[in-house]
Amino acid sequence: MAEIKTKYMGIDLNSPVIAASSGLTSSVDKVKKLEDAGAGAVVLKSLFEEQILYDSTKMTEGLNADIHADAFDFFSGMSSNYFLDEYLGLVEDCKKAVDIPVIASVNCVTDGAWLKYAERFENVGADALELNVFHLPVNKKMSSEDYEKIYYNIAKEIKRKVKIPVAFKVSPHFTSLSRVLENLADLNIDALVLFNRFYRPDIDINKLKITHAPIYSAPEEISLALQWISLLSGEIEIDFAATTGVHDSEGVIKQLLAGAKAVQLCSALYKSGPEVITKINDELSAWMDSKNYSTISEFNGMLCQEESENPEAYERTQYMKAAVGIS
């Protein structure tokens, strides 16, 4: 029977399937169920930088820092410490409860105060740290380079703070995506997770109000990450993880062929439960047997652009050829 073990960021995984950061990785019991189903690792529900700052601000509303300096400092510190300690407790408890790698997650927007706590993730036993970083580029006074520097500054500081592997979960919204990802790799980031899936607005034309688009991804959304992992996995010396649009073993196999070292599931877990991981693992192993592959390394990345006999097929210009029938 085929062996589906692999490595991601230098960490041994029993399966390339990772449970992505979500409400389904927010407690020890939930993480244990994911391990029992065969998850190779879990990314814990994110700790939000904004959440700490927002709650700290609320607790100090109405306090004059000059008049109530002691109270101001107390409540500010209590808020940060409370949420951080709660999250660090989750990391520590999960590490004691399961044998699979536990990846801590921080949703951050600056290279500011949260970084002083970074070592604490390492100290409580996190196997790696995933940073979910995104700035919506809406400030007309900022250039694309200005936005990119925010990512680079976070990367430099976090690698200076911790020794455990660090992954960046990013969006495709860059002027030159390949350059940004290569620069992050040059800053010794250990993995890139493609791509973040954000809250997207919609409009209710009957109630005349803003609402939200479907929260869960659809299988058709696999294409964007698949294209970019295919384009870059053979070009940039870094591990790639795929996410968004992966709902079954076929999606996992496609991403592995494109060059992803691991695949993160979220919407599929919400829709089908942890048992979908068991099904994917079994079907992946069966597919490997049918192709006479003993290990994932035998086919991992074999269809990336660098290895392709038809590299142009991965680039946008091929759309025109397909559309008008040019051969």
More confident residue, 76 or 173: 173
Measure the CA–CA gap between 284 and 122, rounded to whole angstroms.
Answer: 33
Query: What rounded mean pLDDT belongs to the chain?
Result: 87
Q: Are 56 and 76 in contact (CB under 8 A)?
A: yes
Please report, for residues 23, 115, 197, 204, the alpha-carbon distance to residue 213 in angstroms, rounded to integers and kept in the order given.
19, 33, 12, 10
Take residue 234 and report the two structure tokens written for it: 């053979």
Q: Mind listing the domains of the chain with CATH numbers?
A: 6-301 (3.20.20.70)
All residues at 6 or more sequence positions from 303 whose CB lies less than 8 Å from its CB, including other chains:
230, 257, 258, 259
**What is the reported pLDDT for 110?**
82
All residues at 6 or more sequence positions from 301 whose CB lies less than 8 Å from its CB, including other chains:
233, 234, 256, 257, 258, 259, 307
Q: Are 187 and 159 in contact (CB under 8 A)?
A: yes
Neighbours of 292 (CB within 10 A): 8
Q: At what angle do helices 49-59 and 69-97 cross, to 10 degrees?
A: 140
**What is the reported pLDDT for 74?**
47
Nearest C-alpha neighbor of 60 from the set 87, 79, 47: 79
**What is the reported pLDDT for 71?**
47
pTM of structure: 0.86
All residues at 6 or more sequence positions from 287 whose CB lies less than 8 Å from its CB, including other chains:
249, 253
Take residue 54 and report the two structure tokens written for it: 């927002």
Residue 68: pLDDT band (50, 70, 90) is very low
User: In DSSP terms, which residues pair with 233 in a beta bridge?
Assistant: none
Among 48-62, 148-162, 182-196, the least confident range? 48-62
Backbone angles phi, psi at 30, to 5 degrees: -65, -40
User: What does the pLDDT look like over 261-299, one tens digit per residue?
Assistant: 999 999 999 999 999 999 999 999 999 999 999 999 999
User: What does the pLDDT look like over 235-265, one tens digit per residue?
Assistant: 999 999 999 999 999 999 999 999 999 999 9
Measure the CA–CA gap between 121 and 103, rounded to whole angstroms.
Answer: 9
User: What does the pLDDT look like over 106-150, one tens digit per residue?
Assistant: 998 888 778 888 899 999 999 999 999 887 777 889 999 999 999
